[in-house]
Amino acid sequence: MITGDLKTKVDRIWDTMWSGGISNPLSVIEQLTYLLFIKRLDELHTLKESKAARTGTPIKEPIFSADQDNLRWSRFKDAAPEPMFEIVRDAVFPFIKSLGRNGDGKEDSTYSHHMKDALFMMPTARVLANVVDQLDGIDMADKDTKGDLYEYMLGKIASAGQNGQFRTPRHIIKLMVDMMAPTPKDKICDPACGTAGFLIAASEYLVEHHSDSIYKDVAARRRFNEGTFHGYDFDNTMLRIGSMNMLLHGVENPDIRYKDSLAQADDDDAEKYSLILANPPFAGSLDYESTAKDLQQIVKTKKTELLFLALFLRLLQSGGRAAVIVPDGVLFGSSKAHKTLRKILVEDQRLDAIVSMPSGVFKPYAGVSTAILLFTKTNSGGTDHVWFYDMQADGYSLDDKRTPQPDKSDLNDILARWQKRATEGERARTDQSFLVPKSEIADNDYDLSINRYKEVEYEAVEYDPPKMILERLATLDEEIAKGRAELEGLLG
pLDDT the model gives residue 290? 63
User: In whole angstroms, what is the distance from residue 289 CA to residue 193 CA?
Assistant: 24
Positive/negative CA dihedral, 315, 320, 324, 327: positive
Tens of pLDDT, residue by residue over 226-285, are 999 999 988 888 888 888 888 778 788 899 988 887 876 666 788 999 999 999 887 666
pLDDT confidence bin for 162, thresholds 50/70/90: very low
Higher-confidence residue of 359 and 162: namely 359
In a domain, 392, yes or no: yes
180: pLDDT strictly greater than 90 = yes
In a domain, 112, yes or no: yes
User: In whole angstroms, what is the distance from residue 268 CA to residue 315 CA?
Assistant: 9
In a domain, 129, yes or no: yes
The residue range of the domain holding 485 is 462-492
Tens of pLDDT, residue by residue over 123-142, are 999 999 999 999 888 876 66
In this structure, are 240 and 290 located in the same domain?
yes
Domain boundary at 96, 119, 147, which? 147
Cβ density class 170-183: b for 16+ within 10 Å, e for less: bebbbbbbbbbebe
What is the CB neighbour count within 10 angstroms for residue 367? 14
Question: What is the average pLDDT score of the chain?
Answer: 86
Top mean-pLDDT range of 18-27, 33-42, 318-327: 318-327
In a domain, 85, yes or no: yes
Give me the CATH number covering residue 120.
1.20.1260.30
Residues 6+ apart with CB under 8 A from 230: 187, 188, 189, 190, 199, 254, 255, 256, 272, 273
In this structure, are 137 and 215 located in the same domain?
no
480: pLDDT strictly greater than 70 = yes
Tens of pLDDT, residue by residue over 205-226, are 999 999 999 988 899 999 999 9
In this structure, are 260 and 375 located in the same domain?
yes
1: pLDDT strictly greater than 90 = no
In this structure, are 13 and 105 located in the same domain?
yes
Tens of pLDDT, residue by residue over 394-449, are 998 888 888 888 899 999 999 999 999 989 988 999 999 999 999 999 999 999 99
308: pLDDT strictly greater than 80 = yes
In this structure, are 410 and 266 located in the same domain?
yes
Backbone angles phi, psi at 62, to 5 degrees: -65, 145
474: pLDDT strictly greater than 80 = yes
In a domain, 155, yes or no: no
In this structure, are 367 and 269 located in the same domain?
yes
Domain boundary at 147, 178, 206, which? 147
User: For the chain, what is the domain count?
Assistant: 3
Residues 6+ apart with CB under 8 A from 134: 9, 12, 13, 16
Does pTM surpass 0.85? no
pLDDT the model gives residue 100? 67
Domain boundary at 115, 147, 179, which? 147
pLDDT the model gives residue 373? 97
